[in-house]
Amino acid sequence: MKKLLQICLLLLVPLGAFASAGIELEDADIDLTDHQSLENGAHLYVQYCLGCHSTKYIRYLNLADDFNIDQQEILKKVAPEGAGIYDKMLTAMNGHDAKKWFGTTPPDLSLIARSRGEDWLVSYLKGFYQDTSKQRGVNNTVFPDVAMPNPLWQLQGVQKAIIKTIDGREVITGLVITEPGTMTAKQFDKAVNDIVAFLVYAGEPAQVQRRSMGKYVLLFILMFGVIAYLLKKEYWKDVH
Ligand code: HEC
């Protein structure tokens, strides 16, 4: 019984962490048939995220094929300078440096949209706020004490949290921009949605890979079945 209670308490801890921010998740507005939005998302991702994160299953060629966009345009508009069309979307940062700088290695983001969900991702990218008690000067509403600096602050501007004390607990009830960035709120919403759309897309190619592998597995079973059948015939030939 004591053990059960302990497990229940453990399960409650993460819930408590989320409850400390009194704001709800944003609604992502993603359209995977909008290739322009996906291309823009990939472009912003390369500019603002690839410095630390990889999406190792995706090559620039995949973007051209899947978004139905000319390879040269992908190289010119999306890929970092000097990258080839067959290159994977890998960060140039090495894990050791990252660990030294951030205390943790920025994760590969290939499957992040599947594990966190698109609403969480939008809320995360829009949820950084100034917090001078933190090493990087920022905190995040959905990822408290996050080790990642706000990568989009120049676009978004400086954001502060409105904190109220409810039942003796400090709760964030909203966020306000105190110094504007280079984008309007509407432009920034679109930029974040496009990046998240790209991350949702990035979760798909792995699935496609798995499916195409499934074909080979079936083919193998079929071929093996034929061989087994022929063997059986050979073995039983003299018995009858
Ligand atoms: C300067 C390096 C850096 C940049 C640039 C950066 N990140 Fe990160 N990111 C990190 C680090 C470090 C973590 C790990 C945070 C932690 O565990 O506290 C992280 C964590 C994350 C997570 C959470 C993963 C999880 O554990 O669920 C997401 C999502 C993410 N980053 C998305 C992005 C996106 C999208 C961009 C671009 C808009 C970006 N990051 C740009 C360093 C970076």
CA of 143: how far to CAs of 35, 40, 50, 100, 126, in Å?
30, 25, 20, 21, 11
- 77 confidence band (pLDDT: 50, 70, 90): very high
pLDDT attached to residue 14: 46
Compute the distance from residue 125 Cα to the ligand 1 centre, in Å: 9
Does the C-beta of 192 come closer than 6 Å to ligand 1? no
pLDDT attached to residue 17: 44
Atom of ligand 1 nearest to the CA of 103: 12
CATH number of 2-230: 1.10.760.10
pLDDT attached to residue 94: 87
Encode pLDDT of 38-74 as tens digits.
999 999 999 999 999 999 999 999 999 888 899 999 9
**Burial class, 156, CB count within 10 angstroms (exposed 0-12 / middle 13-18 / buried 19+):** buried
C-alpha 176/C-alpha 163 separation (Å) is 11
Q: What is the DSSP string of 188-204?
A: HHHHHHHHHHHHHHHHH
Percent of the chain with pLDDT over 70: 87
Does the C-beta of 101 come closer than 6 Å to ligand 1? no
To test the pocket of ligand 1, the residue of 40, 99, 148 to mutate (highest count of ligand atoms within 8 Å of its CB) is 148
**Burial class, 11, CB count within 10 angstroms (exposed 0-12 / middle 13-18 / buried 19+):** exposed
Compute the distance from residue 157 Cα to the ligand 1 centre, in Å: 18
Whole-number mean pLDDT of the chain?
88
Least confident of 43-47, 132-136, 213-217, 233-237: 213-217
Atom of ligand 1 nearest to the CA of 146: 18
| Average pLDDT of the segment spanning 165-180 | 91
Encode pLDDT of 178-214 as tens digits.
999 999 999 999 999 999 999 999 997 654 455 557 7
Does the C-beta of 153 come closer than 6 Å to ligand 1? no
C-alpha 209/C-alpha 57 separation (Å) is 9
The length of the chain is 240
CA of 90: how far to CAs of 60, 123, 150, 192, 230, in Å?
10, 25, 20, 21, 48
| pLDDT tops 50 at residue 20 | no
| Average pLDDT of the segment spanning 124-137 | 93
Which amino acid is residue 67, in one-letter code? F
Question: Dihedral angle at the C-alpha atoms of 185, 189, 192, 195, nearest 10 degrees?
Answer: -130
